[in-house]
Amino acid sequence: MTEQQSSAFGSLLLGTADQGTRRLRVRVQVLLTVLLIVTNVVGAVVVAALTVVIIPGEEINHEFGIAMTIATPTYVLVAVLFGATYGTVSAIRGLRWAIAEEDPTDAERRAALRLPWRLSVMQASLWGVAAVLYTVLALLLQPKAVLSVAFAVVIAGLVVSTIAYLIAEFVLRPVAAQALEGHEHVRPSGMGVQRRLLIFWGLGTAAPVLGLVVGALVVLTFPEASSNQFAIVVLGLAGVILLFGLLVTALTARSVVNPLRSVTDALPQVRDGSYDTEVVVYDGTELGMLQAGFNDMVAGLREREAIRDMFGRHVGREVAEAASRGDVELGGETRFVSVLFVDLVSSTTYATEHSPTEVVGVLNRFFGVVVEEVAAHQGLVNKFMGDAVLAIFGAPVDLPDHAERALSAARTMATRLAAEVPEVGAGIGVATGEVVAGNIGDTTRFEYTVIGDAVNSASRLTDLAKKVPGQLLVMQETVDKAGDDEAGHWVASEPVTLRGRAEATQVAVLAEGPRP
């Protein structure tokens, strides 16, 4: 896996994708505990602020003030301790399979993905109890504050529960990644993008409007409440909603953007041909399915590239690329090419006198030299025929200097074979002429090949080349069509009569080598 380990989960706080289970447990426990405590304390501050600004037309009385002073820190402390402890313990208990490095069952996997929602519901329940408690205190000690206090606690509860969900989902990303591993295409089980957008609307639009409604009701219900009081209510609500709405929006945006960014950050690597790139799937919603879909796409590209590479090794890169573009069809066209044919000398005798392992080793070295030199001169290795090789220069890719390239490949190939495969000799023949190049076979299975007199001539020249010094024989026509630099390496030799022909063929040999 080639993703950047430091940002596998969208934040350095969450560690790397290959962190140990002990470190993961400590990280989850500490982050959940600290962040949940901070969130609940912030909620208590929201209650205090809203209660002060929405009390209708009068100051908080002494009894209610004392009750709020005692009840608020006491309940917050109890709720924080209970919520943080229960939430962390229940999370760790539900993630035993991850700590024990075991594969989760389907039930454990679903429980892990739903854990942020469970923690959010727990926080909402605690704040529901707080709403009842504070409402009863207001009803007994300052009835005019009932509506204000109830609204303040409900708004704070919504903010805290929402932030608790987003925090839990953030902290538990490494666990979600383990739960989704191998099951990335499970049905989305988390709070999807649509629900998160509804949260935006609820905290950014519905809550402020509801606050204005409460403020208006206060002014209408209590005649002593002034317009200044309503202005204070509006300003107080605006401050609270702007501040905490921004916090919720930022957290929700990160929960949406991080999975998208993991994909966009990996795209350039794939564009550059790195098909081993993958992203960690840590989101149980539609965004996680997008991450999994990206990995599937890369896996498909990787498989296609492997097939194309293997196909190219069999038929040549040029033919493989033409096939991938859909340009391959049965039939052929007349092309003027140069054909190189190389065949081992006395390979049967060598095979009977040596072990199969030695024979295979010699053949692999032989084919390695031939393939390298043909590729270096932009030719196409068209066929392996036992211990012989047929190579083409000028098809399927047109090469204006095909004759020069074929002759140069033959010279360097002969030199390398003599040095690197001294156990056996090899005859090399080169011919130039018209051939029919194309695909033959059936629509379900065909191969690219060349058929024509030049192919036959190259094969016959190879047979004759085995019997002459240097073991290299080419058509004079090929030398004539090569450039002056390459032609200078060859000299004309006595004509030879190729098998199956009545007329003699003009041939050439290396200038520095003995003539046949």
Give DSSP secondary structure letters for 80-128.
Answer: HHHHHHHHHHHHHHHTHHHHTT-PPPHHHHHHHHHHHHHHHHHHHHHHH
Q: What pLDDT is recorded for position 5?
A: 42
Q: What pLDDT is recorded for position 516?
A: 40
Higher pLDDT, 515 or 338: 338
Residue 428 backbone dihedrals phi, psi, to 5 degrees: -130, 130
CATH number assigned to the domain with residue range 329-510, chosen from the 4 options 3.40.50.2000, 3.40.50.920, 3.40.50.300, 3.30.70.1230: 3.30.70.1230
Q: What pLDDT is recorded for position 473?
A: 94
Q: Is the pLDDT of residue 196 over 60?
A: yes
* Residue whose tokens read 């630099």: 485
Identify the weakest region by mean pLDDT among 83-92, 179-188, 392-401: 179-188
Tens of pLDDT, residue by residue over 305-363, are 776 676 555 555 665 665 565 554 446 788 899 999 999 987 878 888 889 899 999 99
Secondary structure letter of residue 225 according to DSSP: -
- Most confident range (mean pLDDT) of 99-113, 283-297, 463-477 is 463-477
Q: What pLDDT is recorded for position 116?
A: 80
- At residue 390 the predicted structure's pLDDT band, cuts being 50, 70 and 90, is very high
Q: Judge if the upstream peptide bond of residue 223 is cis by omega within 30 degrees of 0.
A: no
Structure tokens at 516: 């046949």
Identify the weakest region by mean pLDDT among 29-43, 286-300, 355-369: 29-43
> Against a cut of 0.85, is the pTM above it?
no
* Residue whose tokens read 């950014």: 204
Q: What pLDDT is recorded for position 91?
A: 66
Under 8 Å CB-to-CB from 109, ≥6 apart: which residues?
A: 179, 180, 183, 186
Higher pLDDT, 455 or 299: 455
**How far apart are the C-alpha atoms of 442 and 463, rounded to whole Å?**
32
Q: Is the pLDDT of residue 430 over 80?
A: yes
* Positions of CATH 3.30.70.1230 in the chain: 329-510
Q: Are 59 and 148 in contact (CB under 8 A)?
A: no
What mean pLDDT, rounded, does the chain reach? 78
The residue type of 283 is D
What is the mean pLDDT of the segment spanning 487-507? 89
Burial class (CB in 10 A: 0-12, 13-18, 19+), 160: buried
Structure tokens at 118: 């469970």
